Amino acid sequence: MQKLAVVLFYVIITGCPHGFEAISPNCTTPGRLHKEFEEMCQRPCLRIAAPLTPYVQQLQDELKWRKMYPGFEKYEHRLFYVEQAELVSWAEAIAVCHKKGAQLAEFEDDEEFQAVLKKSTPRGTYWVGITEGKDGLEREYLRILANS
């Protein structure tokens, strides 16, 4: 319910710059919303609205990366794409990644690997990139078989 309230609040306070003057009849010039909002509400409204600012910014950031990278999922500070529908060779997997502006996944730690693996289909086959094998030698790729 909090997310809904934040989004609703955000839509209301940004209505005028996008041409929705019916929401804010006192807003006569797009782009002047903050000043007019401040004059209308003074300090009490701003005290209520200020704590919501980081959440609104977080939602804006998420919307931005979701538009830029459709189908990708975020884990902490990195984005991952798990292809569920297509069965491809290693070379084709690299080509698909490059088309999306990405590369085969390389995981920073086991926690990150397990989080991405949860997005996989049981008994699915996935290509991932790795930097070192157990023997310490550099490797270019690894095929992962997801088990239930």
Pure H helices in the chain: 2-13, 33-49, 53-68, 90-99, 110-117
Global pTM value: 0.48
What are the pLDDT digits (tens) for 48-80?
Answer: 777 888 888 888 888 888 888 787 887 777 778
Residue 12, pLDDT above cutoff 50: no
Cα of 112 vs its chain's centroid, Å: 16
**Cβ contact 9:49 at 8 Å:** yes
